[in-house]
Amino acid sequence: MNERRSYVAFDLGAESGRAILGTLDGGRVVLREVHRFPNAMISLFGRLHWNPYALYAEIVEGLKRAAAVCPGGIDSVAVDTWGVDFGLLGRDGSLLGLPFAYRDLRNVRAMDEFLEKFPREKVYELTGIQFLPFNSLFQLHALARENPELLDQASDLLFMPDLLSYFLSGRKITEATIASTSQLIDPRRGGWSPELIAALGIRPAILHDPVPPGTIIGRLLPGLAAETSLPDIPVVATASHDTASAVAAVPASGRNWAYISSGTWSLMGIETAAPLITAETRRLNFTNEGGMGGRIRFLKNVTGLWLVQQCRKAWSADRSLSYDEMRELAEGAPAFRSFIDPNAPDFLNPPDMPAAIREFCRRTGQEVPATPAAILRCALESLALAYRHVLDDLRRVSPEPIERIHVIGGGSRNTTLCRFTASATRIPAVAGPVEATALGNVLGQALALGRLRSPDAIRSLVAETADPTVYEPGEAPAWEAAYDRFREILPHP
């Protein structure tokens, strides 16, 4: 691995996307952001959609910029995105309308409707996936009910990273980690659940058999290669779900750790060799998603820094706050005045996030935060306490003890949240790398091209080069009292 190699990783989130040039040189990996661009849902006729054409245009621009700054040549390209959302292709290979976005509110009703005809217990037994209203299973049920003509015309269903890889290569595949988010994959068999496909009434032919991360899909289309001044480099299916790429790059050893992939969403869990599907894991609403090397990401979704992002958006008309300024505001506010349940439906996509936070506190009989500082303090403390709640549940079912938490992704830069996390959970929080997803994407490409031997080599390489910050627990009695109050506002089965 002494030869210098360069790869382009496109990491697309619900708020923005980036083109990252990753270079392996002398056993180290260096990342350079060459293009950043916004990504936003489009409201059209009362429905929320994504615009993959706009994303593709930004990907083309990112490839041009990567080619311009890397005269030594680029070896491959790969795309990772958020989970569950998908596009449909017609028989001529064209996109049948804009893909729906997971925050479209029709999905809440669709989940309830589907579970009326197909038992919740059976769905979990077949998939091991936690119940979230935006899972692809329920999105497809909504589509079959409201837009059946799209499914009738569809030749292929491609999840978002697979769709964008198709635009790059002309090859249609489904990568396993992104497919695992759908609540349609049987993790024991590694393929689609025929029972759920039949219950949806969709044609199985539109679904592609999943391929493992680290698969070469095809090569850059000739016209695109010419436009970007690149040769026909390989297009790779890395771990295409962003969290799968991030977890692949956790700089950990042993098995006594948990992770929080911290961004718009917080995905908190452990890594296991096999799915954990029991009545207890169903009751606790844990999910079994695919990871690098056939591993399972046993985790739970927690609404993450979406709370802060949407507060910033709501306040943008009056004042322009940076995320560091918002963090400092939270630091200066009084502690433990009020809490929210981050996963409450109130916070899925409210028109005014600060108002939603105030209303939740009012409805639950707590002090209502009156200032931006108080609202942000409430949000960050509540996130840390939600992590404690997930950790308690993880410990009930984990085959290994959990002695530290690795916080990876953009949220690891939020020093206030990391400090709160260590104190709330009572174990060290190890923060970094910030660019875990991009690292996992880049090194997944290196694995596909034979530059790395195994997924373990990815983690070892990151561990050798990472410089994490360790946050130790503090203020134990105050956080324990806060946790007792936090649990009182959670829904009780």
Active site residues: 242
Calpha distance 427→439 (Å, rounded): 26
Question: At a CB cut-off of 8 Å and minimum separation 6, what does 318 contact?
Answer: none
Cis peptide before 433 (omega within 30 of 0): yes
SS3 track for 313-378: HHHCCCCCCCHHHHHHHHHHCCCCCCCCCCCCHHHCCCCCHHHHHHHHHHHCCCCCCCCHHHHHHH
- Angle between helix 323-332 and helix 415-425 axes, rounded to 10 deg: 50
Calpha distance 288→129 (Å, rounded): 6
Question: At a CB cut-off of 8 Å and minimum separation 6, what does 272 contact?
Answer: 295, 296, 298, 399
Question: At a CB cut-off of 8 Å and minimum separation 6, what does 251 contact?
Answer: 406, 432, 433, 459, 462, 463, 466, 468
Under DSSP, is residue 464 helix (H, G, I), strand (E, B) or coil? helix
Cα dist from 278 to 122, 126, 151, 275, whole Å: 11, 11, 33, 9
Residue 190: which of 202, 173, 177, 204 has the closest Cα?
177
Calpha distance 339→450 (Å, rounded): 49
Calpha distance 290→375 (Å, rounded): 36
Question: What type of residue is 240?
Answer: S
Calpha distance 477→190 (Å, rounded): 45
What does 89-127 look like in DSSP terms, one character per residue? E-TTS-B-SPPBPTT-THHHHHHHHHHHHS-HHHHHHHH
Calpha distance 480→261 (Å, rounded): 24
Residue whose tokens read 């939270």: 330
Calpha distance 29→47 (Å, rounded): 41
Around Cβ 21, how many Cβ atoms within 10 Å? 23
